[in-house]
Structure 1
């Protein structure tokens, strides 16, 4: 009798454990217990800064016991590589150039929303009194990040002034290095954006041109095809947080400026000034898609892309 009781008790314990495991397993969404997204705060990504500071993604996903992991990968190519490797689910602020190049190389991803449009935030800047417009860049040394929106700005501005890449000496370097090289007169002009551009201007450098009326300056949000197809509810929650964070910023501007100032080390006045350069509306507009198509043409013409892709196919329907 004692053996039977022990067997019965053992079965009851097993059943209790099984039920507990089942309940715990069901608490996540279709088996998802963690999502990973990039955290890119520069040049002035106010939504990302506020989202992280206020824990907006964590609050939304903790309802389903899903952990949110942030990655500080900021390089576009490295972001898309991490997504291809399954290390990242959402690229929360990535350049159109990186998305197009990744898609052309077989990475299964989709643009799920627009992050920002900031044509005014991208600039060609000089210390030279001889350079007053893009046509004066002929024969000059220009430093900046290759294959980016800034590079596209340079090529577009040259084209609009009857010049091409052979008319200038372009030196590939990141934004901080370009700012340093300009300050030390090692280059004639620099391709700068956001805080770096503002710092140069405060140092009495001159703006040759901004991206206004030349480029769209569109940054997007992308996700893996896998999570879009297998877990559309996760994507829906992500987009909900993105939309709600924009509304939070609009309703709490001063607080958002303070948070951004503390996170970036910029003065609140600088944050306010640069914030006006940006449009953070997440809706994918026809103009955004057209902008991506223009970006693809830039990549083709510059030799960085060999085969054209259908841009409409990388937009989440």
Structure 2
């Protein structure tokens, strides 16, 4: 009977301790922003400054993410991953939490291939920032590109622009010699004369113009050139509070841009090696509103159609289901 009483006391003590521990597990930290259960020690946010990703530049240069998350002792790192496919690979591997500016093509391709990734906001729409350029005085229109050598990155917004521009003239990709090449290499090929035309975007456009190239067409009337903000689906489910705060910081960067235009131009010029005048000209090409509209969803669906029609995507996904 004495043993039974001791056991009863021990069990009661264990239950009290267990209850106390459970309480600690859900207790908010001193800042009140996250629980011990959902505690995050590090956030990885991709940093891409080109073509002219002004919100990202402001966020990094003004330490906006650090200011927000340091209160919870969360370290923020900014891996410079400039290729969309590399970003989605990093998300799949668990080494990247947020893609702060990624082409919709990359997100759709990754999601269709099983990567747990979601779109949490729009980053930009900038059809005028994406161009087809030539140095040849005989090439004045898209029709003049028939049989010509065109260089640019495959499976991207620029590739989609080329196909859309050809389609508008009742032409197909087979009517030109398209060679997969990065933007810097493409501009070099154009300047050296080893390519007749190049797919060029962002800061490389005014730089190419200064070297004698001309814009044959931009994305206006062809596509919206949709860049999105994406995140790991697993991270979103596990840390919705962090995602909400992330978007709040992004909104702060947009407010800073609106309230401090001259400083914003200067920061962007320093980071992209453009002149302030060039930044001002290009800045007007961009719509940085993060809200996802019905038109944005239609553009995403058009992008998926482009990928499927050109053999880059075998199965389609529910675009609305891709948005969190």
After TM superposition, is the score higher than 0.5? yes
Question: Which one of the candidate residues 223, 235, 239 is aligned to 2:243?
Answer: 235
Pairing 1:1-317 to 2, within 5 Å after superposition: 26=29, 29=35, 30-316=38-324
The CA deviation at 1:240 is: 0.2
Separation in 2, partners of 1:220, 1:120: 17
Separation in 2, partners of 1:127, 1:115: 31
Distance 1:177 1:31, change over 3 A: same
Contact 1:114–1:281 (CA under 8 A) maintained in structure 2: yes
Question: Structure 1 segments of 4 or more deviating over 6 A?
Answer: 21-25
Separation in 2, partners of 1:173, 1:67: 36
Separation in 1, partners of 2:256, 2:137: 44
The number of equivalent residue pairs is 297
Separation in 2, partners of 1:100, 1:22: 37
Separation in 2, partners of 1:194, 1:288: 21
Normalized against structure 2, the TM-score is what? 0.89
The CA deviation at 1:202 is: 2.0
Distance 1:269 1:113, change over 3 A: same
> Secondary structure in 2 aligned to 1:71?
coil
Separation in 2, partners of 1:269, 1:24: 52
Give ranges in structure 1 of 5+ residues lacking alignment.
1-17
Contact 1:25–1:31 (CA under 8 A) maintained in structure 2: no
